[in-house]
């Protein structure tokens, strides 16, 4: 099985992770790395790592100066070229799935790209409504809103928008007993601290009525939703905004968690960490666990197996 690997921002840790993980990854699939051949040679030399003889690439992107740990338009454009090359391989059925290493959103912005990240780009490039889900075997968070300012989130919390979102989540996961978090502190305290929970409550009721059973539970109080006791009852948590789901996930399972794009039209998994500019091209090996888990999940999904079974 062939998997396209988008190598991410070459000023970050993505290339090192790809090189150090190659021997393990090739036992699971045939990886095709989307990277400029000259940049691969330069980056590996800076890392003092040999490029494996079976490191198959799809040459793409321009040559630019690697500046470890620095945002730049050139690095942003290069990581985007890698990503769209991987998408093209998937659309043409040359690969069965895509795995992405981290990009830097500021570098994309400097390069003039309109997208806030991989998921936004997928939605536009593939004409889909991709859903961002992150997690590991112990816990998964599904994000209702992605990379938007926090002040804009409450505008999105309307039952007519949230109900179809919940139904799509169920369609993609095929799981019952999915927790849905409230938006306000204390889940609004019955309207004392905001009325957004009423919209969430309506959406849950309508989705459950459509499914003819109680699949979605909530709205749960956000500050206790991820407690140890709560996690005994729930494995999947629908979160209203980015940090509501990502802070507890990364606090509990930073190294092993991954990102999965649901409803994207292609299979795409990713690491659940950034470019780590502070350690890029420095001594000390970055953790490869998230990347390895992302590859494992991509292979399993492409094989038609159940979602998220590391």
- The CATH number of residue 264's host domain is 3.40.718.10
Range of the domain at 207: 138-255
SS3 labels along 248-289: HHHHHHCCCCEEEEECCCCCEEEECCCCCCCCCCCCCCCCCH
State which of 255, 270, 300 marks the end of a domain. Answer: 255
Give the residue among 153, 102, 164, 105 at the shortest CA–CA distance from 129.
164
Q: How many CB atoms lie within 10 A of CB 186?
A: 15
Residue 306 has pLDDT above 70, yes or no: no
Q: Are residues 55 and 161 in the same domain?
A: no
Residue 196 has pLDDT above 80, yes or no: yes
Cα separation, 286 vs 266, whole angstroms: 28
- The strand pairing partners of 138, in sequence order, are none
Q: Which helix (H) or strand (E) holds 47?
A: helix 37-47
Please give the structure tokens belonging to residue 6.
């988008």
Q: Are residues 89 and 161 in the same domain?
A: no
Cα separation, 124 vs 264, whole angstroms: 10
Q: Are residues 67 and 212 in the same domain?
A: no
Q: Are residues 3 and 111 in the same domain?
A: yes
Three-state SS for 117?
A: coil
Q: Are residues 181 and 306 in the same domain?
A: no
Confidence label for 309 from pLDDT (cuts 50, 70 and 90): very low
Mean pLDDT of the chain: 94
Q: Are residues 224 and 277 in the same domain?
A: no
Determine the distance from the C-alpha atom of residue 204 to the mean position of all C-alpha atoms in its chain, rounded to a whole number. 25
Write down the pTM of the prediction: 0.88
- For the stretch 148-157, pLDDT in tens is 999 999 999 9
Using the 8-state DSSP alphabet, how is residue 34 labeled?
A: E
Give me the number of domains the chain comprises: 2
pLDDT number for residue 270: 96
- For the stretch 22-74, pLDDT in tens is 999 999 999 999 999 999 999 999 999 999 999 999 999 999 999 999 999 99
Q: Are residues 87 and 156 in the same domain?
A: no
Mean of pLDDT values over 133-153: 93
**Would you call the peptide bond into 219 cis, given omega within 30 degrees of 0 as the criterion?**
yes
The answer to whether 154 and 143 are in contact (CB under 8 A) is no
Give the residue among 262, 234, 267, 265 at the shortest CA–CA distance from 248.
234
Cα separation, 245 vs 140, whole angstroms: 9
DSSP string, 188-235: GGTTTT-SHHHHHHHHHHHHHHHHTS--EEEEEPTTTTTSHHHHHH-S
Confidence label for 305 from pLDDT (cuts 50, 70 and 90): low
Q: Are residues 282 and 202 in the same domain?
A: no
Q: Measured in Å, how far apart are the chain's first and last C-alpha atoms?
A: 18
Please give the structure tokens belonging to residue 112.
């003039």
pLDDT number for residue 307: 52
Q: Are residues 234 and 282 in the same domain?
A: no
Q: Are residues 40 and 86 in the same domain?
A: yes
Confidence label for 229 from pLDDT (cuts 50, 70 and 90): very high
Q: Are residues 98 and 234 in the same domain?
A: no
Q: Going by C-beta distance under 8 Å and a sequence separation of 6 or more, which residues neighbour residue 283?
A: none
Main-chain phi, psi angles of 107, to 5 degrees? -65, -35
The answer to whether 263 and 251 are in contact (CB under 8 A) is no
The answer to whether 182 and 221 are in contact (CB under 8 A) is yes
Q: CA Rg, the chain, in Å?
A: 20
Q: Are residues 73 and 211 in the same domain?
A: no
């Amino acid at each position: 099985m062939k998997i396209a690997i988008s190598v991410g921002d070459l000023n970050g840790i993505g290339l090192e992770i790809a090189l150090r993980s190659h021997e393990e990854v090739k036992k699971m699939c045939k990886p095709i790395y989307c990277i400029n051949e000259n940049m691969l040679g330069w980056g590996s030399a800076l890392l003092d790592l040999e490029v494996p003889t079976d490191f198959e690439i799809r040459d793409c992107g321009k040559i630019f100066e690697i500046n470890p740990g620095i945002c730049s338009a050139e690095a942003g454009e290069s990581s985007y070229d890698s990503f769209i090359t991987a998408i093209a391989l998937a659309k043409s059925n040359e690969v069965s799935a895509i795995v992405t290493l981290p990009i830097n959103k500021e570098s994309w912005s400097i390069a003039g790209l309109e997208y806030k990240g991989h998921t936004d780009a997928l939605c536009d490039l593939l004409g889909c409504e991709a859903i961002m889900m992150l997690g590991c075997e112990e816990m998964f968070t599904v994000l209702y809103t992605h990379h938007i300012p926090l002040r804009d989130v409450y505008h999105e919390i309307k039952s007519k928008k949230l109900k179809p979102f919940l139904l799509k989540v169920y369609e993609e996961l095929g799981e019952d007993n999915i927790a849905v978090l409230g938006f306000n502190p204390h889940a609004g305290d019955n309207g004392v601290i905001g009325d957004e929970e009423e919209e969430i409550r309506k959406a849950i009721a309508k989705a459950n009525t459509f499914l003819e059973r109680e699949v979605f539970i909530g709205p749960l109080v956000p500050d206790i939703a991820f407690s140890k006791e709560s996690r005994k009852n729930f494995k999947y948590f629908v979160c209203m905004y980015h940090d509501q789901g990502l802070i507890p996930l990364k606090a509990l399972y930073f190294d092993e968690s991954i990102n999965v794009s649901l409803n994207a039209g292609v299979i795409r998994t990713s690491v659940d960490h950034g470019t780590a500019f502070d350690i890029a091209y420095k001594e000390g090996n970055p953790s490869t666990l998230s990347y390895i888990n992302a590859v494992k999940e991509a292979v399993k999904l492409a094989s038609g197996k159940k979602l998220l079974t590391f």
